[in-house]
Amino acid sequence: MIRWLLLLLLTAAVLASAIGVVVLRHESRQLFVALQESESARDATRVEWSRLQLEQAWLADAGRVERQAREQLDMKAPDDTRILVTSP
């Protein structure tokens, strides 16, 4: 009788252990997929950040700003006689 009880207990322990392994393996796979998605999103964000930095540098280029001021706004540099320099 005790042998059957021990065998039943050991069988239940083995089954519980097997189910635990399956559950943990499934969770591990889900976490790996989430990690891959996060890394992909991070890489896409880095690419976008680099593109935005290049765009900002291009938009802030002094030559471009001056050219647009001359062409689109009909602005021009003042004559030397109209420039006033002050010192603190």
Q: Is residue 59 part of a domain?
A: yes
Mean pLDDT of 63-68: 83
Domain that holds residue 65: 47-74
* Spatial contact of 58 and 64, defined as CB atoms under 8 Å apart: yes
Number of domains in the chain: 1
Q: Is residue 61 part of a domain?
A: yes
Q: Is residue 53 part of a domain?
A: yes
- pLDDT class of 68 with cuts at 50, 70, 90: confident
User: Considering the entire predicted model, what is its pTM?
Assistant: 0.57
Copy the structure tokens of residue 67: 């050219």
Q: pLDDT, tens digit, for every residue of 2-29? A: 899 999 999 999 999 999 999 999 999 9
Q: Is residue 20 part of a domain?
A: no
Only one residue has tokens 């039943």, namely 8
Q: List strand residue ranges (DSSP E) for the chain, in order.
A: none
